[in-house]
Amino acid sequence: MALEKVLAEKVADLVNLKYGANLSSKEIQIQKTLASFEGDLTVVIFPLLKFSKMNPIQTGQDIGDELVKSLEDVESFNVVKGFLNVVLSNDNWGSTLNAIASNVSFGLLKKSRVQNVMVEYSSPNTNKPLHLGHIRNNFLGYSVAEILKASGHNIIKTQIINDRGIHICKSMLSWQKFANGGTPESEGLKGDHLVGKYYVEFDKHYKVEMAELMDKGMSKEEAMQEAPIFKEAKAMLKKWEQGDKEVVQLWEMMNGWVYQGFESTYKAMGVDFDKLYYESNTYLLGKKVVEEGLDKGVFYKREDGSVWCDLSEEGLDEKLVLRQDGTAVYMTQDIGTAIERYKDFNINGIIYTVGNEQEYHFKVLFLILKKLGYSFYEGLYHLSYGMVELPSGKMKTREGTVVDADDLMKEMIYTASEATKEKGKLDGYSKQEIEKINETVGMAALKYYLLKVDPKKGILFNPEESIDFNGNTGPFILFNCVRTKSLLKKHGDNDYDGIVTSNVSEKEKSIIGKLNDYENIIENAALNYSPAIIANYCYDLAKDYSQFYASHNILNEEDEQIKLFRLNLTSQVGRVLEKALILLGIEVPERM
């Protein structure tokens, strides 16, 4: 049990017994003692004064005396104003470390009531390859899924692939017109890159035709609708919806190319999925629900035949759910898909990993599901995140200036190789080993940089800064994690388990305290859907260990008891760092 929990339970018992209160341990405020005061943990006394009927100093002294008498782990205490600073015994630090070491399931929490939670992420369009925005989306969604799993929930990772619509037909029509039958093999491109190439090509021709029409006096809005190539794309979409054999075959062939490309990119990213949904299968799902909602009075029909939901009482506006021609909109599809997912997995909640530009959409979706009477709406959450930009500015897919995910990952691996080469860290390694390590370091740098920032905030991504071996970066954390493996390998024997020493330094206490707090960190990250909490914990722990390594003898320590204690500490730092990094999707090499 975490030290804070033990202390909180004991303080609650004491206050209830001595002052006739009825407090639970959760109502006792425990903090880490500030560095400027003597102590390890601090009990906030002010909320207890209404029970003790004494001043803060007297109350703190009263509780402190009882803690020293009743808890072996408490060595002494001091009271500063309304704060009781507790000094823990050295034996406590050793037993705490050993308890962590002996707990084979440390870092895997158990819930009294396990929930089925679906995490949706990626959800790309099949008219282009994945880009930098998708990278943050995938890393964030995957990491949140792993954190929730570690916190004790049953997790289903999913995505809905946007494989239909006018944008898909733009790529298909462009390929027909300009590719001369080109394939991924004949053009030497990944399938998603090939399809994306012709999406960009469509836009080039579209703009030319629009310009010609505007020169003839049309407004921009008119030209957008009347451009011949756009009208052809609309006609193709209509044929697809009618099941035209040739159009459907073309759609299946080009989507097949894209899926092969996506699979390769996901493998490089290190993410996976348990269930895939396709818009081509789900876009009509919500229409029946809308009809049912009309009967219940949740929706209403206007004179033109379109169907709407009035959310003005909830502070929003009216939302279209069926067009006047009876066709579905995205909201209709999302309503139907949410219900379908609930039926498929009996889920308690869905985490939608989608950029912050869609916040209004999800507010409306959740409200409509509530109005329709689906109780699972309470477990729906929009994991809204900020955009990623490079120093050069925003990305524009149609214009071909998008930062491609595959290219960025390759660039990160190259940047890692240059950094390790410059530092001479991989001298004497085989070519295959060097390539694997550079890949691991490059991807760790990318993932950590994107995940260490609170999801709600935007990111200005700096590739060179992310690879720094001395800053708040993935490579710095990896290096210290690998350092623990190297030290233990040099020592050889696994003879440091169960060691307790009376000589524990302040830095060692700090590290043990952080190790002991790991499961609380997981719980906090799960509650807030924030990998940043895990990421920054990793950095703090790695930084503490780096300072400890620089200031303490380990293998050269003359006192055998202290040496073994420090090896045990080293072992647990490496173990916890590796567990935490796995939650971020970061692989740890054996050496680097």
Residue 132 lies in a domain: no
Q: What is the CATH number of the domain that holds 19?
A: 3.30.1360.70
* Residue that is last in its domain, among 38, 69, 88: 88
Are 433 and 579 found together in one domain? yes
3-state secondary structure 44-75: ECHHHHHHHCCCHHHHHHHHHHHHHHHCCCEE
3-state secondary structure 341-357: HHHHHCCCEEEEEEEHH
Its pTM stands at 0.91
Contact 127, 194 (CB under 8 A): no
Are 521 and 420 found together in one domain? yes
Its domain, for residue 34, covers: 3-88
457-463 contacts: CB < 8 A, separation 24 or more? 457/386, 458/386, 458/387, 458/388, 458/389, 459/136, 459/386, 459/387, 459/388, 459/389, 460/389, 460/390, 460/391, 461/132, 461/388, 461/389, 461/390, 462/391, 463/408, 463/411, 463/412, 463/415
Considering its fold, how many domains does the chain have in total? 3
558, exposed or middle or buried, with CB in 10 Å at 0-12, 13-18, 19+? exposed
Q: What is the CATH number of the domain that holds 567?
A: 1.10.730.10
Characterize the bridge pairing of strands 388-389 and 459-460.
parallel
Are 487 and 578 found together in one domain? yes
Characterize the bridge pairing of strands 307-310 and 300-301.
antiparallel
Predicted pLDDT of residue 392: 66
53-60 contacts: CB < 8 A, separation 24 or more? 53/19, 56/81, 56/82, 57/81, 60/84
Residue 538 lies in a domain: yes
Predicted pLDDT of residue 397: 42
CA angle 509, 513, 514 (to 5 degrees): 120
Residue 537 lies in a domain: yes
Residue 475 lies in a domain: yes
- Find, among 405, 398, 399, 479, the residue nearest to 437 by Cα: 479
- Find, among 294, 330, 289, 324, the residue nearest to 309 by Cα: 294
Are 68 and 170 found together in one domain? no
Bridge partners of 390, per DSSP, are 393
Residue 110 lies in a domain: no
Q: Which helix (H) or strand (E) holds 88?
A: strand 83-88
* Residue that is last in its domain, among 59, 88, 117: 88
Residue 502 lies in a domain: yes
Residue 472 lies in a domain: yes
* Residue that is last in its domain, among 88, 117, 146: 88
> How far apart are the C-alpha atoms of 166 and 93, rounded to whole Å?
63
> How far apart are the C-alpha atoms of 461 and 405, rounded to whole Å?
13
> How far apart are the C-alpha atoms of 232 and 201, rounded to whole Å?
15
- Calculated CA dihedral for residues 431, 437, 438, 440, nearest 10 degrees: 150
Characterize the bridge pairing of strands 83-88 and 154-161.
unpaired
Tens digit of pLDDT per residue, the chain (592 long)? 567 888 999 999 999 999 999 999 999 999 989 989 999 999 999 999 999 999 999 999 999 999 999 998 899 999 999 999 999 988 889 889 999 999 999 999 998 889 999 999 999 999 999 999 999 999 999 999 999 999 999 999 999 999 999 999 999 999 999 999 999 999 999 999 999 999 999 999 999 999 999 999 999 999 999 999 999 999 999 999 999 999 999 999 999 999 999 999 999 999 999 999 999 999 889 999 999 999 999 999 999 999 999 999 999 999 999 999 888 899 999 999 999 999 999 999 999 999 999 999 999 999 999 999 999 999 999 999 998 887 765 444 444 456 899 999 999 999 999 988 887 778 888 999 999 999 999 999 999 999 999 999 999 988 888 998 889 999 999 999 999 999 999 999 888 888 878 889 999 999 999 999 999 999 999 999 999 999 999 999 999 999 999 999 999 999 999 999 999 999 999 999 999 999 999 999 988 8
450-466: b or e for each residue (b if 16 or more CB lie within 10 Å)?
bbbbebeeebebebeeb
Residue 105 lies in a domain: no
Alpha helical stretches, state H, 216-358:
220-226, 228-241, 245-269, 279-282, 285-296, 330-345
- Find, among 512, 509, 530, the residue nearest to 521 by Cα: 530
- Calculated CA dihedral for residues 535, 541, 547, 553, nearest 10 degrees: -140
Are 575 and 435 found together in one domain? yes
DSSP string, 469-500: SSSSSHHHHHHHHHHHHHHHHHH-----TT--
State the DSSP code for 404: B
Structure tokens at 334: 């999302």
Cα dihedral 368, 372, 374, 375 sign: positive
